[in-house]
Amino acid sequence: MTILLILTVLALIAIAIWQITKIFELSQPKKIKTQVADDDDNRWNGQLMFAFLIFLYAITLYSFWKWGDLLLPSASSEHGLEYDNLMWISFAIIFFTQTITQALLHYFAYKYRGEKGKKALFYADNDRLEAIWTIIPVIVLAGLILYGLYTWTDIMTVEENEDALLVELYAQQFNWKARYAGEDGVLGDANVRFLQDFDGKNIVGIDATDPNGFDDVVVQELHLPTGREVIFKMRSQDVLHSAYMPHFRAQMNCVPGMITEFAFTPTVTTEDMRQTDDMKAKVKKINSIRRENSQELIAKGEEALEPYVFDYLLLCNKICGASHYNMQMKIVIETPEEFEKWMMDQQTFAEVIQ
């Protein structure tokens, strides 16, 4: 119903525009002698330029007030804090520049609107000015580049070590699987050629001739302990996918025929995250939206939506086919003890293929 209403309104707006154009057209020969802007046009368009500047500031402020809480959900990984820091510095620079340059642009467009008989200033060049606005960006960017590269190297340098937890993320149209290296800490060799072995029970294609693979554990829900570095090895069996874990500021493509990697250290358990004020507020907001939507569904005789509970997410973020929009895996961050306990309950590859 609302759709119909909105479409009707839009249709009416379209008709209104159509009518306005006709009115303009009819009134044209009498009033307008020229199609070149005259003083009147310059005046009201100049004023609108100024109004537009206010509009720009207004939507910026409004958006931050209304949607500011959406920006960068709080980080749950060690490098995430560093990431956020760099992000907010860049943001500050962007806002400063945006505010000033848009002001100058639109204010000049208003202030220097044309009038008959006025003459513009003949001012073609100024090397000093050019130098100023070349050098200032150079300095600012040099800072950003250095800081950015320092952080980048820090995040992307993945060094295998004994303490780290080794996890393979395995992507296929349209779901995720995770494989843990097991007690030996080594992932067994794997290839898509082995996927059909053992009546399809070998769901990530582990090479059964490699002894390292027998204690590997394959799961459909990713569990990770806090406080321990996790090294991800990504694989894909069919097309490109991208493992995107926004709360951990982590993303890496999964490429068929190649193993990619990324590493981070989770810091906040799922349970703790659910208890934060921000998250409580968000979940409350989402659930009130869901209740509203449920009422519509119930009226149509369909089932109500389940209430939402927060969980960390792994999303696919590289176009991969029809169900790309629904290719997800739940991530559970827990204390090391909980994690060990969970791990004990899982079947190893050797157990699965028996």
> Toward another protein, which CB reaches closer, 60 or 346?
60
Residues 6+ apart with CB under 8 A from 180: 165, 166, 167, 168, 216, 217, 219, 343, 346
Measure the CA angle with vertex 171, ends 167 and 172; round to 5°.
150
Near another protein in 134-173, by CB under 8 A: 134, 137-138, 141, 144-145, 148-149, 151-153, 155-157, 172-173
> Toward another protein, which CB reaches closer, 193 or 344?
193
> Toward another protein, which CB reaches closer, 182 or 327?
327
Residue from 19, 63, 74, 276 that binds another protein (CB under 8 A)? 63
* Packing angle, helices 39-67 and 78-111, rounded to 10: 160
Does 310 help bind another protein (rule: CB under 8 A)?
yes
Does 353 help bind another protein (rule: CB under 8 A)?
no
Does 280 help bind another protein (rule: CB under 8 A)?
no
Residues 6+ apart with CB under 8 A from 81: 75
Three-state DSSP class for 353? helix
Q: How many residues bind another protein (CB under 8 A)?
A: 131
Three-state DSSP class for 165? strand
Near another protein in 120-139, by CB under 8 A: 120-126, 129-130, 133-134, 137-138
Q: Provide the 10 A C-beta neighbour count for residue 23.
A: 9
Pair type for strands 328-334 and 217-219: unpaired
Does 237 help bind another protein (rule: CB under 8 A)?
yes
Backbone angles phi, psi at 169, to 5 degrees: -100, 130
> Toward another protein, which CB reaches closer, 22 or 341?
22
Near another protein in 247-276, by CB under 8 A: 247, 249-253, 255-258, 260
> Toward another protein, which CB reaches closer, 156 or 183?
156
Near another protein in 14-43, by CB under 8 A: 14, 17-18, 20-21, 24-25, 28, 32, 34-37, 41-42
> Toward another protein, which CB reaches closer, 45 or 335?
45
State the DSSP H helix or E strand holding residue 177, giving kind and residue range, or none if neither.
Answer: strand 175-180
